[in-house]
Chain A
Amino acid sequence: MDFAIQSSRPIWQQLTEQLRRRIVTGVYPAGSRFPTVRELAAEAGVNPNTMQRAMGQLESDGLVITNRTLGRTVTDREDVLEEMRRRLATERTEEYFKDMETLGYDRAAAAELARSEGGRTDE
């Protein structure tokens, strides 16, 4: 999964979002060593100062823990991970409702549509 950077929003915010997603989906497993700022900056092709800012956000989220001897690791607290997973899911759901509103579905209608479409198993 590569970093995808769009033109119009601050780069560090986009990096933060994509790293959060990587953490909650287990790309970097709970409790494992987290890559260094320089490694991540090189991978994304961005300035290390920008990546540092994203890293600072992950630390204040509690997703990444800085340990004096071990360096940075992904948190092993399942509650912290679950909270972030929930937050990302809620954001996506809100985007769905907003998108449906532009198509003329109010929240109840959009929720009903999701329920009926979600129950379908055939394509």
Chain B
Amino acid sequence: MTAPRRRSWPGAREEERMSELVKCTALRRDFGPVKALDGVDLTLDAGRIVGLLGPNGSGKTTLIKILNGLLQPSSGEALVNGCRPGPATKSLISYLPDRGYFPDWMRVSDMIDMFADFYIDFDRRKAEDMCRSLELEPGQRIKSLSKGTKEKMQLMLVMSRQARLYLLDEPIAGVDPAARDFILHTILTNYNEDGTVLISTHLISDVEQVLDEAVFLQKGRVVLHESVDSIRERTGESVDALFREMFRAQAWKEGENHAW
């Protein structure tokens, strides 16, 4: 496992460049007999776009929920900016859940008002700009939005904050390929440059151009954490190809033990 090369933003202050924004140590989380996270050690620096990549059930959503305080670890530790997830870290984290949670009767503009009330770092002008480019009509009721448009609205709200850590759980899963490019473009042009973006997805080929680093999660463990360029240099393959290779090999191995 190669440590990712540190690269920095021009203009980022030195102490921010080198800071460990996220640090997980021997992090475990069980759901009954299921080990969703089975000893995760992971450090993420500030100012990076990181892909959290793994097949279904590998622990991506569990890890994200622990980082934003929605789940407690069974053992081990998760720190965000040196603190355990809690009230102090809520203001640093902008979270895009893997499903919608908004009441149907509200309008897009109600959501913008609510976010502006809740979060001191919410930038209303940015929200309005993004509504225009994503073709969201502020007067529309959430009920009347398509699945993909709802996802765009959620993303608009989440990216309008000047957060230190963006946790995006499957931001592109429900939209068509053209909208994916648009959403990735929105993420790239709106994230806070000193902030870190953690994007969980299994649609790797769609995101790999925007990533600095890739974290491969498998059965609750980090099996690879490397910069995307270093993966390409080392293997001569895309991250997507490497992912398919690693996880296909695993499926075959399992196949030898189970008769199917």
A5–B210 alpha-carbon span in the complex (Å): 12
> Chain B: interface residue count, which band?
20 to 34
Q: Is the CB of A52 within 8 A of B10?
A: yes
> Could you give, for residues 28-41 of chain A, a 1 whenever the CB lies within 8 Å of some chain B CB and a 0 otherwise?
00000000011001
Residues of chain A whose beta carbon lies under 8 Å from any beta carbon of chain B: 5, 7-12, 37-38, 41-42, 44-50, 52-53
Q: Which residue of A lies closest to B234 (CB)?
A: A10
Question: Is B241 part of the contact surface with A, judged by Cβ < 8 Å?
Answer: yes
- Return B245 CB to nearest CB of chain A, in Å: 13
User: Complex Cα distance A102/B10, Å?
Assistant: 45
A45 & B209 in contact (Cβ 8 Å cutoff):
yes
| Residues of the A chain whose Cβ atoms lie less than 8 Å from the Cβ of B189 | 38, 42
* CA gap between A38 and B211 in the complex, in Å: 15
- Most chain B CB within 10 A, of A5, A7, A37, is at A7
Give B227-238 as 1s and 0s: 1 = Cβ < 8 Å from A's Cβ atoms. 011001100111
**Contacts of B236 on A, CB cut-off 8 Å?**
8-9
Quote the shortest CB–CB distance from A20 to chain B (angstroms).
18
B: which residues have CB within 8 A of A? 7, 9-10, 47-49, 181, 184-185, 188-189, 193, 205, 209-212, 228-229, 232-233, 236-238, 240-241
Q: What would 7 A/B residue contacts be, using CB atoms closer than 8 Å?
A: A8-B238, A11-B228, A38-B189, A42-B185, A47-B211, A47-B228, A52-B7
- Chain A residue numbers with a CB within 8 Å of B9 are 48-49, 52
- Which among A42, A49, A53 has the greatest number of chain B C-beta atoms within 10 A? A49
CB distance from A59 to the nearest CB of B (A): 12
Closest to A5 in B: B209
What are the nearest 6 A-B pairs in CB distance?
A7-B238, A10-B229, A10-B232, A46-B209, A49-B7, A47-B210
Contact B229–A50 (Cβ < 8 Å)? yes
